[in-house]
Chain A
Amino acid sequence: MTEEKNQKEEKKESEVKKAVKGLVYGMAMHGMVTYALKTRMHLENLFMLITMGDMLGVPILPPYYSLRLLPYSVPHVKTWKRTLLRERDVTDTIF
């Protein structure tokens, strides 16, 4: 019986810890992380444009060398194309 109780208490404690961690993260870190990730996304998009630009008609790097980099970029191609080709409006500046 006591063991069960102990386990329950431990679980509670870890949940409290998690909540505190989440709170601190949300208050202090989240903004920074989002900013870093956003900057990274922009740089990633720029990188994709330079290397794979000819997919969308912007030829910069000769395709012979783009192909060498292609395997690494495969997971990004879809999102990159979507980001670059999607319609934009005023709300873009807010988010």
Chain B
Amino acid sequence: MSERIKLKEYILNNPGLKYILFGGKGGLGKTTLSAATAYWLAQQGKRVVVFSTDPQASLTDIFEKTIFGKGEVELARNLFALEIDADKRIAAYQEEIRGKIKKMHGLEQVPEEIEEYIRSAAAEPAMAESATFDAMVELMSGGQFDYYIFDMMPHGHAIRFLSMAEILDTWVDKIVETRKKADEYGDVATVLSGKGGLAQEDEMVNELSFIRSRLSFVSNMIRDKEHTAFFYVLIPESMPIMDTKKALEMFQAFNIPLSGVVVNQVYPVELLKDPTVPIYLKNRIKMQQKYLDTIWGEFGTLIRAIVPMFDREPKGLDMISKISKIIF
């Protein structure tokens, strides 16, 4: 068995690293760890952005500053945070599409039927996910930062979100193919009948290849071990352990390498020796220790960090700095 590499070493050993993702169940401290990692990297003089893809605005809470829907907010030197307002983004996007339709077809008003579709499409639950996804890719392809830290949405979503790229990629291939074939037949008809051709076709294929480029960017990114690290956050309790095991399997199925796990919210074991500590808490510590053994057995060398439970909520830059000192 190879030796366990800690989070700091992992980052230092992989100088090509650019994208760091934190996944895991809700409420286990993904945001805290993302923030702490970003903070440490910023301290090393890197330009870092931390982006929350979780619809429940948690960066705003943790940094105690309104970040939600404000674009890239600078929190400290080199440290930026971004939390997109998916609803706002969708509304702007809808408006853009309406404008395009009106302009392209010289219409005063978007036809009723089409308008209905635009409105119903926005109500789709997947819409917010896609909008976040799109914002994520946009940010990454901007290339303004040295490191991009992603605080991913809870488990199920995150995997779906990432695997969506692959599935769609195949579909877009098919779409482009039918489009091209349709064009060919159209061209044949045009030549034979000597009538004018159809414009806009090239633009449509362009649009499709744009969608493709967005999708393949992500599917390439998550498989690129040199530039991307995916960490899974768990706590010493049975459900998160099971969840992480399941995630590991899913990751393997999608051929996504997992860079490691981070164990969070661990009560200091020394408390067991302290006679003033109530039995209530001691039981909890014992339970955690039992699950920690399971975690060591399951994930062993994959454990990148063990983060203690703090006596207060990890909030504000001071607290984040304290946590980052413990991890790094």
Contact = CB atoms under 8 A, between A and B. Distances in A.
A78 B186 CA distance: 20
A87 to B, nearest CB: 20
A33 B185 CA distance: 9
A84 B174 CA distance: 20
B130 A62 contact: yes
Contacts of B204: 69, 72
Contacts of B181: 43
Given A50-B175, A70-B101, A74-B111, A64 B185 contact: no
A43 B94 contact: no
- Choose among B121, B134, B164, B172 the residue with the greatest number of A CB atoms under 10 Å from its CB: B121
B178 A43 contact: yes
Interface residues of B, number: 44
A16 interface: no
B113 interface: yes
Interface in B189-218: 189, 192-193, 200, 203-204, 207-208, 210-211
Contact of A63 (B121, B168, B189): B121
B210 to A, nearest CB: 8
B250 interface: no
A67 B185 contact: no
Contacts of A25: 193
Contacts of A36: 185-186, 188-189, 192
A63 B175 CA distance: 15
A66 to B, nearest CB: 7
Nearest to B100: A71
Nearest to A32: B192
Interface string B59-101: 0000000000000000000000000000000000110010011
A88 interface: no
Contacts of A32: 188, 192
B326 interface: no
Contacts of B100: 71
A65 B149 CA distance: 25
Contacts of A40: 182, 185-186, 189
A47 B181 CA distance: 10
A40 B127 CA distance: 31
Interface in A51-67: 51-52, 54-55, 60-67
Given A33-B188, A71-B105, 14 more contacts: A37-B185, A40-B182, A46-B178, A47-B182, A52-B117, A55-B117, A62-B124, A63-B122, A64-B134, A65-B211, A68-B97, A71-B101, A74-B101, A77-B114
